[in-house]
Amino acid sequence: HLTLFIENGRLLDYPGRPLKTGMAEIAKIHKGDFRLTANQNVIIAGVQESEKAKIEALARDHGLIDDEISEQRKNSMACVSFPTCPLAMAEAERFLPQFVTKVEGIMHRH
């Protein structure tokens, strides 16, 4: 299997990182399962030995695998908050990536 980090659980196409397109391309060749994790990631399960290299290459080509992502970022998670949650009091999902970048900078210095 292959577990993919999906920041804030949003599988979208971003400039230079076509995540949604990448998952669609993987789905065309993968015969196993796609599983969502409790921490908003995706597991590509039941990968056949003959599919492994192709699936990993597609994931890397579409930005689904990035070896530069810190463990701090991989383990961060925010609720959806605005605009979809009536209980939201802040822009948690939109702010978290910026906040994690600041925390990573502090951790790197110390």
Query: Could you report the per-residue pLDDT of 63-76, keeping only the tens digit for each?
Result: 999 999 999 999 99
Query: Could you report the per-residue pLDDT of 12-37, keeping only the tens digit for each?
Result: 999 999 999 999 999 999 999 999 99
pTM of the entire predicted model? 0.83
CATH number of 2-61: 3.90.480.10
CA–CA separation, 77 vs 104, rounded Å?
15
Task: For the chain, give every domain's residue range.
Answer: 2-61, 71-109
The predicted structure's pLDDT at residue 32: 94
DSSP annotation string for 17-57: EEHHHHHHHHHHH--SEEEE-TTS-EEEES--TTTHHHHHH
Contact 64, 19 (CB under 8 A): yes
Contact 37, 76 (CB under 8 A): no
* pLDDT exceeds cutoff 90 at 89: no
